Amino acid sequence: MSKCKKQRKRFDDINVIPFIDIMLVLLVMVLTTATFIKQGVIPVDLPTAKTTTKKDIKKEITIYVNAKGELFIDKEKVNLKTLEDRLSQISKDQTVVLRSDKESKFQDFVSVMDILKRLKHEQLYIVTKE
């Protein structure tokens, strides 16, 4: 008699690990897509504030500062010089909304605020999360 017997494996149960892998990949894709839909084209993680007031803003210019320090004006990537040129062309009464990522450098925020102050823009809103 031979000591090596062939053992046959029974296939009574279903292996669900590949199914779980596929479902997790689909979940990540849905969550990633939902994040971009919620925040728009430029993902910015807003800082929080204890007191906020929500105002109905009709016509506005939006300035984004992302975590990498890149500047966007109405979803168009610009540098500081271009930002200043664009802001100098609009009315001083025009509402400016600043959305700065909480992970961005404070210097980027200060640079934008310096331009707005130099151009005497008074209608400024800084967007935060509640």
The tens digit of pLDDT for each residue in 62-81 reads 888 888 888 998 888 899 89
Helices 106-118 and 80-88: crossing angle in degrees, nearest 10, is 30
Residue 20 belongs to a domain: yes
Domain count of the fold of the chain: 2
| Domain extent at residue 33 | 14-43
Strands 60-65 and 95-100: parallel
pLDDT confidence band for 108 (50 / 70 / 90): confident
Residue 58 pLDDT exceeds 60: no
Identify whether residues 69 and 118 lie together within a single domain. yes
Identify whether residues 73 and 109 lie together within a single domain. yes
Identify whether residues 29 and 83 lie together within a single domain. no
pLDDT given at position 57: 46
Identify whether residues 83 and 117 lie together within a single domain. yes
Identify whether residues 29 and 74 lie together within a single domain. no
Ramachandran class of 116: left when φ > 0, alpha when ψ lies in -120 to 50, beta otherwise: alpha
Residue 2 pLDDT exceeds 60: no
DSSP structure class, residue 98 = E
pLDDT confidence band for 23 (50 / 70 / 90): very high
pLDDT given at position 53: 63
